[in-house]
Amino acid sequence: MKRRYFVGGLAAAAGVAACSQETPRCESANGTFAETFKWSCVTSWPPRFPGLGIAVNNLTDRIAAASAGRLKIKVYGGGELVPAFEVFDAVSRGTVEMGHDASYYHKGKVDAAQYFTSIPFGLNHLELNGWLYYGGGLELWRELYAPFNLVPFPCGNTGVQMGGWFNKEINSASDLKGLKMRIPGIGGEVFRRAGGTPVTMPGSEIFTSLQTGAIDATEWVGPYNDVSFGLHKAARYYYYPGWQEPGAGLECIINKDAWASLPPDLQAIVATSCQAITTDMMAEYTHGNALALQQLIDDPNVELRRFPEAVLDLLKSLTQEIVDEMSAKDPAAAKIQKSYYAFLEKSTPNQRISEQAFLETRRE
């Protein structure tokens, strides 16, 4: 009996070893052959950037290990193979098999996609995952992307972001007028209606634009990523809360034909790995933000400020105005909005007496 298990173990090891070779097929433990796959993945992030960029490499490493080398994916940072904001098109056309970005970058192409990254004053990361995995959100997402030959997966979340870096104090809503700010998605349209000028640009261009005065303010992510970019060296005032992105979800998008080519076990490995990365990224941001925020608090050249309530009230009212307009002109957006806000309404009382109530007990 022991000999049988020993021989079986050797056979399994031999199968795994064969799968790691650069061959179009790999031999499994039972002597059959399984096809191997080599994919390319393009992203919107600088290569191996903390959080956003590292997550993609962690994803592809997990997939390669779990599949014993049957699915290997080469990662390209933003601009290395395609421009940072052309991930959606590259995967849709089949130029590459996989992409990693944020769905609100597709504003203007498929406006309703913004719901799957973040809606200002909307779901936080816990609620977004609840809605996607158990509240019908993922099904709506895949229905929305189907005409573009794409299969989306939740793949990462930054948690609540910061309100951004400003080169002047924001004491009232009038202080937003005339400002040029890097801010994407619905948040950008809200900022426009508040009197500012929103600008969309990849992360790699933010520091220089803020330092040279090409923009007056920027939101990026939070302390962890903002310190990595050195944004605290280009602006003094750091505002919170991140009204525009209360739980920004990232997406892994896969070309529909490439997805269909995978056998069921590899599809399961990809789906499970994407879900694992969402958990892992939140752990990375929770740790990284805590350390980076303390660095900023200790920096005499940085002033941490809370947005005035009157400013937040205005931004919230403008958000509702915009999402209602989007739904009025787009049946897909209307369908998604109904589901999204129905869950938000159900979740809010629970968040109020759980997460919110508990955190208030820890106040100094």
User: How many residues does the structure list for the chain?
Assistant: 364
Shared domain for 117 and 266, answered yes or no, is yes
Shared domain for 146 and 57, answered yes or no, is yes
Shared domain for 142 and 127, answered yes or no, is yes
Give the count of alpha carbons within 13 A of 234, CB side only.
Answer: 23
CA angle (115, 332, 43) in 5-degree steps:
45
pTM, two decimal places: 0.89
**Residue holding tokens 């990462």?**
156
| Residues 130-147, mean pLDDT to the nearest whole number | 98
Tell me, what's the pLDDT at 363?
76
User: What tokens appear for 197 in the block?
Assistant: 């000028």
Given pLDDT bands bounded at 50, 70 and 90, which one contains residue 304? very high
Number of structural domains the chain divides into = 2
Tell me, what's the pLDDT at 20?
44
Q: Could you tell me if residue 298 is inside a domain?
A: no
Q: Could you tell me if residue 110 is inside a domain?
A: yes
- Residue where a domain stops, chosen among 286, 317, 349: 286
Tell me, what's the pLDDT at 19?
54
Tell me, what's the pLDDT at 27?
57
**Mean pLDDT, the chain, whole residue set:** 92
Q: Could you tell me if residue 178 is inside a domain?
A: yes
Q: Could you tell me if residue 1 is inside a domain?
A: no
| Residues 194-200, mean pLDDT to the nearest whole number | 97
Q: pLDDT digits over 175-188, tens only?
A: 999 999 999 999 99
Tell me, what's the pLDDT at 24?
52
Shared domain for 137 and 199, answered yes or no, is no
Shared domain for 115 and 230, answered yes or no, is no
What percent of the chain lies above the pLDDT cut of 70? 91
Shared domain for 88 and 199, answered yes or no, is no
Strand, coil or helix: 190 = helix
Measure the CA dihedral 90/92/94/98, to 10°. 70
Shared domain for 105 and 87, answered yes or no, is yes
Q: Could you tell me if residue 239 is inside a domain?
A: yes
Shared domain for 224 and 90, answered yes or no, is no
Note whether 26 and 60 are within 8 A (CB): no
Range of the domain at 315: 161-244+306-329
| pLDDT reading at 259 higher than 60 | yes
Shared domain for 143 and 99, answered yes or no, is yes
Q: pLDDT digits over 7-37, tens only?
A: 333 333 334 444 544 445 565 544 455 799 9
Q: Could you tell me if residue 348 is inside a domain?
A: no
Tell me, what's the pLDDT at 50?
92
Q: pLDDT digits over 114-125, tens only?
A: 999 999 999 999
Buried b / exposed e across 170-193, counting CB within 10 Å, b at 16+? beebebbeebbbbbbbbbbbbbeb
Q: Could you tell me if residue 256 is inside a domain?
A: yes
Shared domain for 44 and 138, answered yes or no, is yes
Q: pLDDT digits over 308-343, tens only?
A: 999 999 999 999 999 999 999 999 999 999 999 999
Tell me, what's the pLDDT at 3?
38
Shared domain for 53 and 151, answered yes or no, is yes
| Residues 83-90, mean pLDDT to the nearest whole number | 97
Q: Kindly report the CATH number assigned to the domain that includes residue 216.
A: 3.40.190.10
| Residues 206-227, mean pLDDT to the nearest whole number | 97
- Do the strands 71-76 and 37-43 form a parallel or antiparallel pair, or are they unpaired? parallel
DSSP track, 153-178 = EEEEE--S---EEESS---SGGGGTT
Shared domain for 73 and 216, answered yes or no, is no
What percent of the chain lies above the pLDDT cut of 90? 88
Tell me, what's the pLDDT at 33?
56
Q: Hey, how many other C-beta atoms are within 10 angstroms of the C-beta on 26?
A: 21
Q: Kindly report the CATH number assigned to the domain that includes residue 136.
A: 3.40.190.170
Tell me, what's the pLDDT at 355?
96
Lowest average pLDDT, out of 12-26, 209-223, 270-284, 344-358, goes to 12-26
- Helix pair 331-351, 137-145: axis angle to 10 deg: 160
Q: Could you tell me if residue 230 is inside a domain?
A: yes
Tell me, what's the pLDDT at 26?
62
